[in-house]
Chains A and B, each alone.
Chain A
Amino acid sequence: MTPTQQAILGIVILLVLMLLEMPVAFAMFAVGFLGLWLAADLTVALNILGSDIWIQLGSYGMSVVPLFVFMGNIAFRTGVTTDLFESAFKWIGQFRGGLAATTVAASTAFGAICGSNGATTATMGTIALPIMKKYKYDDALACGAVATGGTLGVMIPPSVVLIIVALQTNLSIAKLFIATIPAGILLAVFMIAAVFIACARNKNLGPAGPKTTWLEKIKSLGGVIETLMLFVFVMAGMFLGWFTPTEGGAFGSAGAILIGLVRRKLKWEGFKRAVMDTISTSTMVVMLVAGAVVLGRFLTFTRLPQTMADWVATVDVPRFWVLMLVIVVYVVGGMLTDALGFLTLSVPVFFPLIIAMGYDPIWFAVLVNTITTFGAITPPVGLCLYIVKGLRPEVPIQTIFKGAVWFMPAFAVTIALLIAFPQIITGIVSSGI
């Protein structure tokens, strides 16, 4: 069996194990270990399994994961979302569809301190769904806005998914965070546009809320200013080299705790739950990365990524079409599995290929993050859709999905713009902002 055949067999077995409900991280460990045994020998496989688990778990770089997850969980438990929502409502709530747009805007702001789409959807849904019900918003629009708005949790930095991609590919976490900001903002703007377009076409979808004065609008910012300052300070600190990403995560967590204590919104019970949620999530993430590293060693041993890159160099197909093919794989993969899981297992395969084709690695990382995030609002996995279903059990899942469909053009336009104008991403990094 040639090394390439071994790699393909390994990927097939990986998919089978995943379909048989083996956790993605453990499936990657298993295939990586067995693959190395087959491709090299048992001693190599055993040594890599043992040393990689220790190296990954014990690396300083990996400590960034629990700290940023902690920052998001503290923010989640301090009820900062209510302030963000109320502030956004004061600014755009008086327009038709304003509450749904408010939900997206508040999700964008919450995404700035929380790196998870699930947490953003759950938090925002708890606040926004009852209010939208009170104002007689259409169920599909309300649920769709919460579910799709939740995806901004990973589109606006800090994002756990981007941290993992950066760790896997040796890209700068700070640069990747900064680079994804335009993509996240574009997506948020298009989502808000989708709300207003839908409400302009059907006036019953989202009635306008009460009007507010400029004084009320400005006063409302008082409740969110510290949180947004914390975000700006953490991002700027990392990008300008004041501190490492790990220090940024620690500073952000401590800052979120301090804000919660000063505003008397962080209780002992909330703190405990934030800690427990953090260790659970970050352990899952760290194991995923360690599994992906072992799998990556096997794929590197078989030279599959290099073989693919060499093949692309020889075939007479424009690199754009190869990129399109890779994008289709990410769209399908993002729909069928969790974004984080799919990215960790696919990055070792596709990243070298993309680099070999001459594409910018940071641009590609942001692009695939956007694409796989889209999977959170599509069946059959659709994490954000199911979270909304959990919050509004009486609304049929088809209605929630229908609501999400209204926002899909926002994703399509954003992805198309990122492909057509890579400068949106590369420009901000090279400008050194």
Chain B
Amino acid sequence: MKFVRTVARLTMIALAATLFIGLTTLYAHSFGPPSPRERERRNSEPHLKSLPTLLQQYLVFGAIALAGRKILRLRLGSR
């Protein structure tokens, strides 16, 4: 019973995800063909030198959460 319930929930998650994937694909098709001028290259190996930017990312994340809490007054309750 628990297995069936989990599968049903996973199906619902997959259906909702498919809806958004469909919309995203429609949006992607609205882009023109890419101009093959500049290839996108990303480093494969990690670079520990970039650790400060990761810490900066956590600070930005914290700042947005704090702003959501204090300025937007986000709460779960109905009050």
Bind each other? no
Q: Which residues from chain A sit less than 8 Å from chain B, CB to CB?
A: none
